[in-house]
Amino acid sequence: MTSPAATTHTATQVIVVGSGIAGLTVALHAVQHGCAVTLVTKDVLEHANTRYAQGGIAGVMFADDKVEDHIHDTLVAGAGLSDEKAVRVLVEEGPARIRELVEVGVAFDRGADGTYVKGLEAAHSYPRILHSGGDATGTAIEKALVASLRASNVRVIEHAFLIDLVHDGGRVSGVELLIGDHAGTTPVAGRHETVTADAVVLATGGAGELYAYTTNPPVATGDGIAAAMRAGAHVQELEFFQFHPTIVGVGESFLVSEAVRGEGATLVDEHGRRFAFDAHPDGELAPRDVVARAIAHQMELQEGRPVFLDATHLRATVEERRSFLATRFPTIDAAVRERGLDWAETPIPVTPAAHYLMGGVTTDLFGRTSLPGLYAVGEVARTGVHGANRLASNSLLEGAVFGARAGDAIAADAASGAWPVVSAPHGAAPTEQTDAPGHAPKAPAFTREALQTLLWEDAGLVRDEDGLRHAASVIATWRARPRTVTAESEYEDENLLLVGETLVAAALARTESVGAHYRRDVLEHVGASVAPQQESGAA
């Protein structure tokens, strides 16, 4: 049940950092309760990770679907590590939040009879995914929420980079920002500014820029997680980083939605053989971690050459396929064609890439963190809904559900004067690096590209103790070297180093394989989404 709304006599000052679905939803709910909200965003308001979401939003919106089935699917994908209470909140409150999106103008795709078009994605037992514009769901949601925000009383500060949280005696009371002045789209200068508030909400997204290959935009540099850690907030389960199986293997990284496989496209090796069933009985529609590792394994067998996504059987003729793919997946179709590929006629090369961080700043079911006055929502938060592996299309749902809850809770918390916090969780990330080998390797000069390559190779899809210890030592060496930090990109690098160090430490500490955290050097494999040939739906 959502925290009760409250109206305060003196407006509660709230700062929301981030402008994706989670941040926008928090801001809109908080301002409706009489809070004075300032939303700060690293780029322009519309440029958040949400706008890149193709797959859609999952929710029990059809009469023949069941809440318990969506809960079950989410728990199975999470490989036994999801918080069932959080999952129940997500699924039970999801339909109301989806209807709220419709009310603010999101036009989800409908068929000729006026009913919503059903979409199927991996590890779902029912086609409960809603899309807008075929494969432009995130863009549609972002546009609608931004329009609603601009029509509200929320103050917006764009080009505002979060340097750190302001805290006194453990209580968070504001943010320190680097605000860029722009000539057109080019930053020409910047100024430091401190903005105070009664409550601060982190909605800064994930940290895909940790890896050499990612589906995330360049702004995903772990800024909120790093700032929370420096302030003393608890973080959890950073070892669980999801890798999306299918990125176009030509040109700049571009994600090919799981919905394409949901429509029947298959994965084949360079000889045309479907190989995904070697790893799991659900084949191409197995949980993401399984499919991504199956592709990586097949690429190793092919000396690094990509596998192929085959959509050439989805309709009877090439002309029919071209029409279907262009209509059902217009964004992907355009990107594929821009790369000189015709996926209606020929399978296209695909590879995995870093996609989504399941762990993050530890929160309760209302976004509260371990620090009074600090909240976290969306990908920056560890709510417990995703466990070791996120179920497809639950991310937009999480942002909407927990964004609304946090926005409602802040008003009530302010009225009570209590500012509740979560206690230190079991499995909270260590504040210091795990013991490294007796002698550190000779580390190259630090660059972001060097860090991304290191983590891709040693803390990526498949890990082992030797690789993780090597990564830990190199990062420790880089962190120990003095650097002058003045520009936004340099602050980002420091954040990536801190988050990367903590991710590696957490991966070393978790010595079993579970979900997206796969260790080749251990025999124990935990959860339904790990072991090859495991029965689909096992707990």
| Active centre residues (catalytic) | 288
Distances (CA, A) of 238 to 163, 202, 358, 470, 504: 21, 16, 7, 18, 8
Question: How, if at all, do strands 186-196 and 171-183 pair?
Answer: antiparallel
What's the rounded Cα separation, in Å, for the pair 28 and 436? 46
What's the rounded Cα separation, in Å, for the pair 464 and 283? 26
Query: Which residue spans within 208-362 are E strands per DSSP?
Result: 235-236, 241-248, 266-268, 307-310, 348-357, 360-362
What's the rounded Cα separation, in Å, for the pair 420 and 410? 10
What tokens appear for 132 in the block?
């807008």
H-helix or E-strand containing 509?
Answer: helix 488-509
In 269-329, alpha helices (H): 288-301, 318-328
What's the rounded Cα separation, in Å, for the pair 102 and 523? 48
Question: 258, 265 in Cβ contact below 8 A?
Answer: no
* CA-closest candidate to residue 488, choices 250, 226, 256, 162: 162
What tokens appear for 365 in the block?
């079911």
* CA-closest candidate to residue 507, choices 439, 450, 538, 461: 461
Question: 315, 327 in Cβ contact below 8 A?
Answer: no
DSSP 427-451: TBPPSSPPPPPSS---PPPP-HHHH
Q: What is the DSSP letter of 255?
A: B
What's the rounded Cα separation, in Å, for the pair 370 and 237? 15
N-terminal to C-terminal alpha carbon distance within the chain: 27
H-helix or E-strand containing 159?
Answer: none
Q: What is the DSSP letter of 283?
A: G
Question: How, if at all, do strands 155-157 and 36-40 pair?
Answer: parallel
Distances (CA, A) of 95 to 59, 62, 81: 6, 10, 24
What's the rounded Cα separation, in Å, for the pair 50 and 48? 5
Q: What is the DSSP letter of 168?
A: E
Chain-centroid distance, C-alpha 103: 25
Residue position matching structure tokens 């540099």: 221
Residue position matching structure tokens 């959890």: 236
Q: Facing residues of 268 across strands?
A: 274, 308
Instruction: Name the percent of the chain in helix, strand, coil, to the closest 5.
Output: 35, 20, 45
